[in-house]
Amino acid sequence: MDLMKTFKIRYPINGEEIDIYAQLMDMKHRMYTIEREPVDPRPLLIERQDDGTWKVKSKDNWSMTNSEITKLGETLEREYPHHPPR
């Protein structure tokens, strides 16, 4: 996997399906930065925990629940290898 590869997917955030831009920041800790637009002033930073759940590491959680964050993390893990760099 290439670090710093940004990819775009459609994903429902707070009930609205939008384009999100994701970037793998740390392969060992499985940490992603997610933006709703390029250069988002409030990006979401999530990290995979040892128990398989995902946790928000940024100040803003975009009003998402813990289960929504975990589902997003699982989706990113699944989608990441299938998208060319942007």
Reduced to 3 states (helix: H, G, I; strand: E, B; else coil), residue 57 is coil
Would you give the distance in Å from CA 86 to the centre of its chain? 15
Q: Is residue 1 one of the residues assigned to a domain?
A: no
Mean pLDDT of the chain: 88
Structural domain of 15: 6-82
**In the numeric block, which tokens belong to residue 9?**
């997917």
Query: At 1, is the pLDDT very low, low, confident or very high (cuts 50, 70, 90)?
Result: very low
pLDDT band at 29 (very low <50, low <70, confident <90, very high): confident
Q: What is the pLDDT of residues 52-68, one digit of tens each?
A: 899 999 999 999 999 99
Tokens of 28: 């060992």
Decide if pLDDT at 82 tops 50.
yes
Say if 26 falls within a structural domain: yes
Amino acid 66: pLDDT: 93
**What pLDDT sits at residue 6?**
86
